Amino acid sequence: MAKLEKEKQFVIYNKKAKRDYEILETLEAGISLLGSEVKSIRMGKINLDDSFVLPKHGEMFLMNVKITPYQNAKYFGHEETRTRKLLLHKKEIEKWTSKFKEKRLTIIPLKIYFNDKNLIKVQIALCRGKKLYDKRFEEKKKEDQRNIQKALKYKQYE
C-alpha cells in the first residue's frame, strides 16, 4: 500500500520555468501556509506561473503564487496572492541570497508537492533567464527530434 500512496503524490509544476530559464541549482523548502490555503492546494487550485522568490532581511518569501480561496472558509479565508514565507536553514538562505545578488540570478519555484510525511514542499531553483535565440534553438532541436522519431516510425512500417 505504501507504493500506491507514493504514486498518487500530488505535484503542481511551473510550466514556464524550463522554457524561460536555464536552471543552475535546485533546493527543497518548506512553506508557511494557512489552513484554507492547504485545502485549496489539495484541490489543485494553485498557479505558479509568474511567481518568484525574493530574499528580504535574512528570509526568503514566495511572491505572486495564486492560491484560489477555499469556498468553505468564509471568515477565515486567505488573500489569493499574499506573500508566503519559505522555511529554509540560515546557511542556505545566506548562500542563495549572495548568489542572487552577486551573479544577478533569479530564484523561481519549479513545483509544489506533498512529501512522504504529507507536508507541502516547494522546489525552488536558482536560474538565469534565457535569451530569445536560446529559446528558438531549443524549439528547433525539439522539432528535429520529433521529425526523426516520425521518420523512424514510418521506416518501421515499410
What is the pLDDT at residue 157?
66
User: Domains of the chain: which residue ranges?
Assistant: 2-131
Give the closest residue to 13 by CA, choosing from 125, 104, 102, 103: 125
Phi, psi dihedral angles at 21 (to 5 degrees): -130, 150
Residue pLDDT, tens place only, 5-42: 554 567 888 888 888 888 899 999 999 888 888 888 88
What is the pLDDT at residue 142?
86
The amino acid at 79: E
pLDDT band at 140 (very low <50, low <70, confident <90, very high): confident
Q: Does residue 137 carry a pLDDT above 80?
A: yes
Instruction: State how far Cα 127 lies from the chain centre.
Output: 12
The amino acid at 134: D
Give the number of other Cβ atoms within 10 Å of residue 111's Cβ.
17
Fold of the CATH domain 2-131:
Small Protein B; Chain: A; (2.40.280)
Q: Which residues contact 74 (CB under 8 A, 6 or more apart)?
A: none
DSSP 10: -
